[in-house]
Amino acid sequence: MVNKTVIDMEDKLPQLKEQRKKRARKRLIIYISVFFLAIVGMLYMQSGLSNVKNVEVSGNESIEVEEIVRLSDLNEEVNIWNLNKEERVAAIESHEVISAAAMNRRWFNTIYIQVEEYEIAAYVINENNRPVPLLENGTLHESASYTPGGAPLLRDFEQQSHAAAVAEELEKMNPSVKERISDIIYSPVEEREDQLIVLMNDGWTVSSTITNFAERMEPYPAVVQEMDPGEEGILHMRINPYFESFDDNDSEEDENL
């Protein structure tokens, strides 16, 4: 029995040695492959092959792609794996028209930049009677184009701060109400320095204020539903909305004659 066991082991020894050799060869191949890949990786990282070759931009409507690339400071000398993305994104977002930006790698040499622009809240009619886009952050965007009916027209706003305050209120306003506004005229009086005259697309004239403009215009659709379409006058949208008829003013003037 002992002799048989010894014979079996002697038969198996060459097989075991061959298996060990195969495993050793596999490990050697793996080590060489890893070492080779590491060398290739180091050469790739240190060569121009890993530099930025293409920059793709999306989401821009009024800003040129070249301007966004300039802000990002991306060029063919920048390594795609050492971008300092936070700093470059912050530089893009520093533009007064851009509200948010994101940057990601695509393939081996392409950077993809996605931006969001501030919405146009209104158009300010300037001294040349030209509509200039006013963004939701209160910034005038001279280079953006005018889209008729795209947003309300602001007239007689000499101070940028007043126009910016209206832009802020318009962004808070219910879209169903905002879409009905045609023109907003700054019309201060002694007792109300922030008074507005608002011309609506449905023909009504509204008096309101810059302060709480969005809140005060909220019930407008319900209020005009109760109005007689044939009446002429001014609808005062304040804490308690009321209608001032032109006919009533004419009667009072006739009585004073």
Q: Which CATH class is domain 120-256?
A: alpha beta
Phi, then psi, of 150 in degrees rounded to 5: -75, -25
Predicted confidence at residue 192, as pLDDT, reads: 86
Angle between helices 85-93 and 65-72 (to 10 degrees): 130
Q: Are strands 153-155 and 242-245 parallel, antiparallel or unpaired?
A: unpaired
Q: What is the CATH number of domain 50-117?
A: 3.10.20.310
Supply the pTM of this predicted model: 0.69
The domain limits of the chain are 50-117, 120-256
The per-residue pLDDT string of the chain (257 residues; one tens digit each, 9 = 90 and over) reads 445 554 555 555 566 666 666 776 777 677 676 665 656 555 555 555 678 889 999 999 888 899 999 999 998 888 888 888 899 999 999 998 999 999 998 877 899 999 999 989 999 988 888 899 999 988 888 877 777 778 999 999 989 899 999 999 999 999 999 999 999 999 998 888 999 999 999 999 999 999 999 999 999 999 999 888 778 899 999 888 899 887 755 444 333 33
Predicted confidence at residue 254, as pLDDT, reads: 37
Placement of tokens 């061959």 in the chain? 18
Predicted confidence at residue 147, as pLDDT, reads: 77
